[in-house]
Amino acid sequence: MDFNDTPEEAVFRQAVRSFISEELPERFKGMGNPLIVGGDMRARFEQMKEWRKKLADRGWIAPAWPEEYGGAGLSTMQQFIMNEEMAESRAPQVGGMGVSMIGPTLIIHGEDEQKEEHLARILSGEVVWCQGFSEPESGSDLASLQMKAVRDGDDFVINGQKIWTSGAQYAHWMFLLARTDPDAPKHKGISYFMVDMKSPGVTVKPLVNMAGSAMFNEVFFDNVRVPAKNLVGEENRGWYIGTTTLDFERSSIGSAVGMRMQVENLIKFAIEHRSDGQSTLENNPNLRYELSERLMETQVAKMLSYRVVSMQAKGLVPNYEASMTKLFSSELSQRIARTGVRMAGLYGQLTVDSEWAPSRGRFAASYVQTIGSTIAGGTSEIQRGIIATRGLGLPKN
């Protein structure tokens, strides 16, 4: 692993830094991703238009997409550098699932008419997408999904339910997997569809989590008619299409940088917050060791990210290595949150609606928000299984 930029990469890194310094609107500087801090997401999308346009002019909304589709055609390492610099500057992210998932799928498997209809609107932000994969009884074992799609003339009629659907209440379209051949082996009877969320029979019910936000949703489909032209790829080949991604940059460098910044904020609080004439750090000398450990762990997360992108830059596809990164990062996010709550004492349990809450209630909010981090994106148990069998060569049973 070479930690040094090549001369070309160094030039590109400086170009990204200069762009952020000159073009990032003042209201976003130091803010991070504004879409995860609550409030009206549609209003935030409106606020992002200026920043989005500046990125789009360079092809940086979807940097890994080919230039012919509005991307920048960046190499794996260039995209990594861009993501790292954006994270270091806390510049807000744009694109969402349209850029990272359905767009790449259409580029590879979509018909020309589908690309023409959807790709430009994804890049412009005109259309917001959500993902319809998980079901109440099909999460980790996604191939067991039961949503049905039955051909009826020029349409498919879809019935069933999706759950844990991020942002469905704001989305214009959903890409989903549904079973089109109930008699086929479970991986071979699934098809991939694009569904207009305004279609009759689609009902969205937000799910409020313990942090008080409603990012997830249940989505019900009652005889929803989907034009056959919205089938992506071949019928009954949706499972394999659904695993497609053009953007193989899965290093999670933004997560590693973000966690380091969280720990740095905790250190700053411990030094500056005073009680009985002493700082929190002076009142609790052992806290110094805990904060040091958290900070070192964020560097471990960063090294795991570097390992993944180094493999990708050599044309390799990370497997268990990506699982190691995800597992370590998601569990570290929980440890950082616990450190924050312990550091603030009983006051750390107070939420933003209390005038006594330190740091505007961030400690309590972070604690409850990170509880689900070891479930989302593949549970820790699944990641450990992948590491054990594919990384260590241990038997499955």
Question: What is the pLDDT averaged over residues 353-377?
Answer: 89
Q: What's the CATH class of domain 253-391?
A: mainly alpha
Question: What is the pLDDT averaged over residues 37-55?
Answer: 69
At residue 42, does pLDDT exceed 80? Answer: no
Spatial contact of 92 and 33, defined as CB atoms under 8 Å apart: yes
**Half-sphere exposure in the Cβ direction for 171 (13 Å, CA):** 29
CATH topology of domain 7-94: Butyryl-Coa Dehydrogenase, subunit A; domain 1 (1.10.540)
Domains 7-94 and 253-391 agree in fold: no
Give the residue from 320, 158, 332 showing the smallest Cα distance to 259: 332
What pLDDT shows up at residue 36?
39
Q: How many CB atoms lie within 10 A of CB 185?
A: 9
What pLDDT shows up at residue 43?
63
* % of the chain surpassing 90 pLDDT: 66
Residue ranges of the alpha helices (H) in 207-316?
238-242, 253-272, 280-283, 287-313
What pLDDT shows up at residue 212?
78
User: pLDDT tens, 140-162?
Assistant: 788 899 999 999 999 999 999 99
pLDDT-based confidence at 40, cuts 50/70/90?
A: low
Max mean pLDDT among 166-170, 229-233, 253-257 falls in 229-233
Q: How is the chain split into domains, by residue range?
A: 7-94, 129-242, 253-391
Q: Which residues are catalytic?
A: 249
CATH topology of domain 129-242: Butyryl-CoA Dehydrogenase, subunit A; domain 2 (2.40.110)
What pLDDT shows up at residue 44?
65
At residue 334, does pLDDT exceed 90? Answer: yes
At residue 252, does pLDDT exceed 50? Answer: yes
Mean pLDDT score across all residues of the chain: 90
